[in-house]
Structures are given as structure tokens and as C-alpha cells.
Structure 1
């Protein structure tokens, strides 16, 4: 597969097209704060205009973005379109369709004691957001959260990953053409730029990346008590119990080979349950061959590893497995000059092996044998909570057990990754795999302040009963007032009552 020459990482901010000036981080931040103070994005008309601009960016800038993704990651255009651009386009269309409903205040009931009164909740913009993208899906995880941020009425600074420099430059070039620079600023650069951004006081930070950097982001945000959304990943397991093994193998192979395995929701390892699973690794291998041929390096549909550092890390896993005679390696070819690693299956890996201690984030798939579904769920539960957990089974009882006992950001049955493409589902982790969620209405809610509004007339002061002095008669009346919504039923809890009685 021919690959374009990689370029040097940019360390500057995006140019201001109107003035031909490259603003500093502080200047961009000041511009966004001014727009926040001026309530630039509060109206539905302005929010919709920016969302439509983002939609045009994705449509008219498609070729630039696809070429950049090929430069950075060797992504085939079809895969990049499906997993990057189309997902964000759908988010834009979904937000535009539902924006008016999302912005509508919601009526809230008022307890009888406080009536007459009115109450509602209204979604208010949080203000100025910082969105920090990742290199593995540098369009989707940067512009996807931007959809929710704009729909919620925020202004935003976008920090693309410097590890995907061509995509970073393309986004920095396109955003000012289609979005109001008062509302959205792109700031390119390395870790120094990221540190300078994190030193500023934002109203919300959304970060996608590793757990290690996520902790740095959370610590920086804590200095200003800034709320965060962290999408971090983890070792997402695929448990194969029963059903059509060939279909399961194809779906696991597809989920693992997307973006050459550099996907946060990719199946990180397989737990093959019980007897009859001995052939599963070979079946998965045949699925890889069916997708990419005997030599995946020649396939136009298979990507590459992002850089030499990531490549060397992944190769070390393969080399460790080749040294261990108890491990069977299926595949394992690689080419440093091309940053190519063949889809590789490792059979018989020890749970204590280095590859099982961290997220693989590459096209290497350990397959471990377990005796039962209970053992598989215990195996998952003994480790940090993953971003997703997959069970391949056609029986409802294992489905129910898996849902109840496995803690993960998402659960999916008989498929991998696809839940992240559904706008009506939240996307996010739990524990070590993340904090908060977005997509669709969940992104609107995540990046909004749900503000309560309470209103009560003063023409007749019905609160006199609550004013001091609290003489004996008034205290008795107050204690017998029903604070709930049902005036005909009152439940008194007496001292000494046991829970549940």
C-alpha cells in the first residue's frame, strides 16, 4: 500500500484568516471569553448556524480530511469516511433536527406546601470549553464533541493531536472558513501548548486519550474546579460463549482491524468459554485473511501504526510471545519502514503477561481459554473497568448475567464498536475508562448547566407559616405539613424504625 510522506508536527496556533495574524493561546482564550461574556452562542439561530457550518466543512472539506487521515494513519478512504466523517455528519444532522426540543425549558412539579408557584429547568451553556482530541480518530473525537458543545451554546477551543499533524493542519485550515472565529478557535501544537491551555480557567474540558494523560488533565482542571469529560479507553474484552462462531470471528476481526487496531472500543482480548473453542483463533485468522488477503501489507483496506514509538511498543509484544514457547503466534509479520503490523493472534498468553497489563491499541489479539461464563466475568471484574465489554451468545440468560455483573462503559452483544455510532446512546466510560459521556442529547446535556428556575407570587404571602417566631402552635402545624406531592398519603418514619419496614 502506497503511503504519503509524513510531515513535521506543527507547533503554532491556527491563523486568523481575517487579519492574517496567528493569535497566541492567550489571545485565542481572551477572544472566546469575550464571546462567552457577550452571550454570542445563546440564541438557537446562532447555534444552528454554526452546526450548519460544521456540516458544510465536513462535506466540502471531505477530500482534504480524507487525504490527511491517509497521511497520518494510512486510513483507507472508505474506512475514514465511515468511521470519522460520516459519524460527525450524522451527529450534526441529529442535533439540528432536535435542537429546538433540547433547548425547550422543562416543567417541574412543585410540592403542595409551596404552591401556588411555578418551577422549570432550563439548559444553559456552560460557557467556554476546551476540547482536546486524540490521534487515532483525529476528526471524529475532536469535531464530535464540538457538535454537543455548539448545540449547548458554548464557545470552544479545539486542540488537535500533534501526533496526527496532517489532520491537525487540515482542521486548523478549514475551521475558520466555516465557523465563526469568535465561537471556535483551533490551537495546534505539542505538549507545551496543551499545558498552557490546561493552565487557563475553562468552564468545561473534554479530553480523549490515554488514562495517563487523562489524570494530568483532571488534575489541571481541579485547580479551577472545572468539570471534565474524559474518554480514556481500556482493555475491552470479547467473550465468546456460543452461537455462530464464524460470524463472531468476523465481527471480532472487523472490530480489531479497524484503524489497524488503534480504536479505544476495539476488542482488546478474547475469552473463549468452554469446550469446542479450540478452533476459534484459526477462524478469526481466516476472517482477517478474507478481509485483507494473505499479505495485509498489500491491501488498500488496511491501515498503519501512527508512529515508530507506538510501532516498537507493539512489536515488543509480538517478540515476547515468540520467545515464550507456550504461546502460539498466528501472523506476527511487521515492517518498520512501512509502520506495518500484520493482524496477529496470540494463543495461550498468560494473564500476567505484559500485553495483558495495558491497553494494546494495535492489531494484536490475545485469545485466552476459560471454563465458564462466570470465570470470564470474574476475569473482567478483577481488572479496571473497560470502555466496552462484548458477549457473543444467542441466549437471553447469559445476556442478563453479563449485563448485571460486568462493569463497563458499554455492553454489546454479538457485535463490537457499533454502539459508539448510535446517537441515541451515550458514549463514555466508567472508572478507569472515563468520566462523563456525549453523543446526541447526551452531549447537549453534558455540556449544559441544567439550571432550576422557581417562581412564586408575593401578592399573597402563603409562607407566613414558615416565619419565626416558632411558637408551640406554629411548630405543630409546620411539622404536620406535607412536603410531598400527594396530600392524601403520609409516611412517618419514627425513631428506631428499621430500614425497609
Structure 2
């Protein structure tokens, strides 16, 4: 037996042991007072804000040179905000929710009890290794579940710190983090979890959903796709340029909700490109590779992938109008703007997931809408316009997981909004109460207090009962 097979066998044994311990402990955890959930959330909050904050900054710098400010803004803040929101509202979420009962059932009451789903699996990607692992965990804890966490193997330094963080707060029969690659994910997906929360590419989401179907596990799939941005002739170009550049090139474009391509009215295209060039220089200087405000691609493989998209598109007639510098050996891609991009190019056929932004002109709004509707439903759609008529027309004639009007990306940070995709871009919603709902079962409860009138309609049937039933059907 090889060393590799021994290692895999040990890992699977560990996975099975932890799963069994969480399954055995799930009801004890679920029945603990709500204050214990809040206490664990507060402990997680303290770990992120204080104990492990600098270690996480250092780890993400080591993994893909993520600037400290970016770590605080896009990794720490979304989770701490989610925690604070959950602590404030979990008491209300877990209380009995009264439900109306029809008059035909006079003498009874109804309510909804949100109960934990049970043992949950959270699989996170590499692009936001803290945020996209711990934000769903907040919802799982608020819902009273146990959870196994699987971080990405592409960010090993961050995963190592997260493993310490989780172990410092939770017993493994409540929350456990398991590191590993594809073999580990495969082993986990074979287990009969009650719920699986996955963030990643649509292609992998299909594999996760197929695995979940074998055990009839419910799923939340936070996927991606090509999120378009429309800029009409009424939009402020300077404002649009600044916000789009931030939303696209933050985290070196490795964001599922980043503007994937821009559809701009032909009268504004050149002005937009010039405004984005100026903003890019303002943000990252003349040499982004040496900028303290700009990170790298997660690894050489993904840098080569993005570089391949650029080269393919240029070979088919696209023009690089800004940037284009690549250093794939050091996992670097310069912020890049591309114009005149052919539809059959790699940049337009794939989710870019990198710092390259195609800028495409359109003549009329319906042309832009038709282009968006040719593809899969995007995770996000962004609209820049001062025309309420145009905004309403776009909203009514497109479909998307979420939309920002005159901004981009920021809807993710609002815990009062449901976040998630539709069909190819995702299934289910996250954040706040919507995330809590994903990890709980809305258990409908009907309680009889007085003898129900409907008992008068039970068999044996006769002509009187049939007339009474007819009245029930007609008036209730």
C-alpha cells in the first residue's frame, strides 16, 4: 500500500468519525438555549476582530498577496457584520411565527417553528477564503446546526489559520474544519448531510447537487457566471467608471459578482474608457505589480488561464486599450481593458474571474437586453442610468440573482437583502434571515384546541353531509 493511499484512508476515517459525532450531538446542540448560539457567535466575532485578525492578513498576503485593507474590507467586515446582525435577530428568527388559520378550522391555531436541518457541510472557494467559509457558518450556527467546513486547498496558509481559529472556539462534534483536496471533497459528498452549502463554479455546483441528490440533501449553491453591466446614455461616466473599476479590479477581479463585461451606449464608450484608465492609474499607479493596493492571482494555473483568455481574444481581433501586462510565473495579471471583443472569443464565452474587462458598445437598449438574455441568468446585473424608464425596462426584461442600480457589488454587504443566483448562477439565498432559512426547516405546526366542526363531515356520508361539504367548498 502506497503512502498516498494510507493518507487518504486516514483522512476518510477522520471524516467519518467527525460526521458520526456531529450526527449524534445534533439534538443536544439544537435544544441548547439561544443564548449559547449567541455566545458562540460572539466568540467567533472576537476571534476575527482581535485574536486572529493579523494572522489572517498575513496568511492571505502569503497565499495571493492580498492587501491588508482588502482583507479587512472584503474578508473580515462581511463576516463580522453578519455575526452582529445574527446576534441581534436570532431570538426573533427562532421564536414561533404565528400563522393564520382559515375559519373552516375554527378551534385551532397554527404556527411555524424554524428547526435546525441538522448536520451541514460548507464548501468554500479560494477567492474569499475567510468570508465565503465563515459567513455561511454564521447562518448555520444561528440555525442551531452542526457543521463541517471544507476550505480551498489553493489557499493553504489561510486554511491553516482558519483551522486554528475554529478549533479554539468549537468542539469538533459541533463545528470542524477539514483540509484537503478533491479526494477530501469527494469523500465528504458521499456522506448523508442534511444540508450542503457550496460556493464555486457552476460546473462543480452540478457535481455537488448530483451528490446531494443521492441522499436527498437540500443544497444552497452560490455559483457565478457572466455578470453584465449596462451604462446608458444618461449615466454619469465619471461616477460609473470609478465604481466599476473598484468592483471589477478589487481582489484582482477574482470575484463572482464582479462586472464581467460592460455594455455601454455607443455615444459614451470612448469617454468611459478614458475615465476608467484615469481611475485605474489613480487606484494602482503606473505599475500595478508594485502597488500595495493590488493583489495577485491565486496561483500560476489561474494566471495562465486568464492570460489565455486575453491572447485568444486578441488573436480574434480584440484590442487591449489599457494594461495587458502579464507575469504568469509570479501569478500576476495587470488590470486590463479590452475593446472590440468578438462574441466567439474566450473572454465572452467564459466567466473571466480575473482583472480583464471587455467594453462593448450598443446602439439601443433592447440590443443590450437581448445580448444579456442570450446567456444564462447572471448572479448579478448592474445598471448605471438616470432614467427611471430605462431602469424599469431593464429590470422588467432581464432576470438575475441580484441587481445594483448606479453601483455594483455592494448589495452583497447588506444582510437585509437575499444574496444568491438563479438557475445556472445559483440555488437558494444567503445572508441574514435568508441564510438562516437555508439552514433551517420551516416546520408547520397545527394545534387543535376545540372539537373541529369538520368532524361533522366525516364518514359515513349522507345527503346532509354532502350539502354541508358543498357549503364548505363554496364559502371557505
**TM > 0.5 fold call:** yes
1:174 and 2:165 aligned: yes
Task: Quote the Cα distance in structure 1 between the aligned partners of 2:444 and 2:27.
Answer: 21
* Cα-to-partner distance string for 1:373-401 (whole Å, 9 max, x where unaligned): 11111110110111000011111111111
Q: Paired residue for 1:427, among 419, 425, 437?
A: 419
- Report the TM-score, using the length of structure 2 for normalisation: 0.95
Q: Rate the CA distance shift 1:283–1:41 in 2: closer, same or farther, 3 A.
A: farther
The answer to whether the 8 Å contact 2:316/2:345 transfers is: no
Q: Is the 8 A contact 1:129 1:157 kept in 2?
A: yes
For residue 346 of structure 1, what is the aligned residue in structure 2?
A: 338
2:45 and 2:80 in contact (8 A); partners too: yes
Match of 1:92 among 83, 98, 101: 83
Matching residue of 1:309: 301
Separation of aligned partners in 2, 1:476 and 1:482: 10
Question: Partners of 1:223 and 1:403 in 2: how far apart?
Answer: 37
Q: What pairs up with 1:477-492 in 2 under 5 angstroms?
A: 477-481=468-472, 490=475
Does residue 191 of structure 1 match 2:191?
A: no
2:22 is the alignment partner of 1:32: yes
2:270 is paired with a residue whose SS is: coil
- List per-residue Cα deviations over 1:197-229 (Å, max 9, x = no partner): 000000100000011110100000000110100
Other-structure match for 1:56 = 46
For the structure 1 residues 39 and 285, does the alpha-carbon distance in structure 2 shift closer, same or farther, using more than 3 Å as the test? same
Question: How many Å separate the matches in 1 of 2:466 and 2:418?
Answer: 48
Return the match for 1:291 from 269, 283, 286. 283
Describe the superposition over 1:432-481 as per-residue Cα deviations: whole angstroms up to 9, x where unpaired. Answer: 100001101111111110001111136x4533322101111210111102
Pairwise mapping of residues 401-480 of structure 1 onto structure 2 (< 5 A)?
401-457=393-449, 460=451, 462-480=453-471
Unpaired segments ≥5 residues, structure 1: 1-10, 16-20, 484-489, 492-501
Shift of 1:348: 0.2
Show the counterpart of 1:272: 264
**Aligned-residue offset at 1:42:** 4.5
In structure 2, the partner of 1:18 is none
Indicate which of 95, 112, 133 corresponds to 1:104: 95
- SS of alignment partner, residue 254 of structure 1: helix
**How many residues of Structure 1 are paired with residues of Structure 2 in the alignment?**
468
**Cα displacement (A) at 1:108:** 1.2
Tell me how far apart the structure 1 counterparts of residues 419 and 214 of structure 2 sit (CA, whole Å). Answer: 26
Q: Out of 254, 266, 272, which is 1:262 matched to?
A: 254
C-alpha distance in structure 2 between counterparts of 1:40 and 1:107, whole Å: 21
Residue 214, structure 1, aligned to residue 205, structure 2? yes
Q: Call closer, same or farther: CA 1:58–1:22 in 2, change over 3 Å.
A: farther
Q: Shift of the alpha carbon at 1:41?
A: 5.6
Does the aligned pair in 2 maintain the 1:42–1:125 contact within 8 Å? no
| 1:308-387 alignment, distance < 5 Å | 308-325=300-317, 327-387=319-379
Which residue number in structure 2 is paired with residue 486 of structure 1?
Answer: none
2:22/2:146 contact within 8 Å kept: yes
Partner of 1:152: 143
1:141 corresponds to 2:120: no
Contact 1:321-1:329 within 8 A present in 2 as well: no
Separation in 2, partners of 1:445, 1:276: 43
CA distance in 1, matches of 2:145, 2:457: 40
What value does the CA root-mean-square deviation take over the aligned residues? 1.9
**Alpha-carbon distance between aligned partners in 2 of 1:34 and 1:51, rounded to the nearest angstrom:** 22
Deviations 1:387-434 (A, max 9, x none): 000011111111111211111110111111000000000110001100
Richer in helix (by share): 2
Contact 2:241 2:275 in 1 (8 A): yes
TM-score (norm 1): 0.90
Structure 2 unmatched ranges of 5 or more: 1-5
1: CA distance, partners of 2:422 / 2:109: 36
Of the three residues 30, 44, 47, the one matched with 2:34 is 44
The one of 75, 83, 98 equivalent to 2:74 is: 83
The CA deviation string for residues 159-179 of structure 1, in whole angstroms up to 9 with x for no partner, is 001111111111111111022
Q: Deviations over 1:255-284 (max 9, x none)?
A: 111110000000000111132322322221
Counterpart contact for 2:313–2:346, Cα < 8 Å: no
Which residue is 2:3 aligned to? none
Indicate which of 366, 383, 388 corresponds to 2:380.
388
Is the Cα–Cα contact under 8 Å of residues 107 and 120 in structure 1 kept in the other structure? yes
* Separation of aligned partners in 1, 2:45 and 2:29: 23
Residue 365 of structure 1: SS of its match in structure 2? strand
| Cα distance between partner residues in 1 of 2:439 and 2:7 | 27
